[in-house]
Amino acid sequence: MTSRCRILPLLALLLAAGRAAAMAPGADPHVNAPFASPDHGRWVEAFERPGRELYDRRQAVLAALALQPGMRVADVGAGTGLYTELFARAVAPGGRVYAVDVASTFVRAIEDRARALGLQNVQGIVNTQRSTLLPPGSVDLVFVADTYHHFEHPADMLRSIHEALRPAGELVIVDFRRDPEVASAWVLHHVRAGREQVIHEVELAGFRYAGEEPLLRESFFLRFRKP
């Protein structure tokens, strides 16, 4: 029994290393250069404007997530906090939303926004490119919108998300389609992984693909479960 207890963690480490090796390289750091010290006002204008699909369809996206009071949600790559605010209202009372972003400027602005709106259930986390820094088993759902293609170390980030989710927790990834029929030249150049590649990588990280919501034209909306 003692030998078996020692072998199992080793096998788990070897399996995780194999999964990481099987993934394609992550985002080029140059893709993330604009967020090293972002101008918050400029990005509010870019992210929270009519014509941006995730802005125009935000209520449909929120409805598809079916959030309930008391849930704990992580908005990974929270940006200016558009969805953080929606989530905070949806999980109240009793729930909590973690606004996770590598840009401290964004996180501080989200916290200020929450206080100004009287939302007391928002907690900001300035994370790294290798970890969400979320506590293990702390959330029911992780939402990653237009952020997966920014992961420089997708295997590490997915491992961190997997650890942060409670058993049967859900990971939702919304990202641009790399389909020439709907994608701009900018998307085709900027986004490293298409829908099939994303599904492949997330499954390698130990998640189970749970389907797709046909809500968006320019982006896909994928659901995954932690077994």
Residues 57-73: pLDDT tens digits? 999 999 999 999 999 99
Q: State the Cα angle at 127 between 63 and 125, rounded to 5°.
A: 60
pLDDT number for residue 21: 47
Whole-prediction pTM: 0.87
Q: 2-225 in CATH: which number?
A: 3.40.50.150
Secondary structure of residue 168 in the 3-state scheme = strand
Strand partners, 124: 99
Helix, strand, coil tally for the chain in percent (to 5): 45, 20, 35
Residue 9 has pLDDT above 60, yes or no: no
The pLDDT assigned to 180 comes to 81
Q: How far apart are CA 164 and CA 158, in angstroms?
A: 10
- Interatomic CA distance for residues 61 and 219, integer angstroms: 12
**Beta-ladder partners of 176:** 219
Range from 20-24, 96-100, 170-174 carrying the lowest mean pLDDT: 20-24
Q: Give the model's pLDDT for residue 25.
A: 83
Q: Given pLDDT bands bounded at 50, 70 and 90, which one contains residue 187?
A: confident
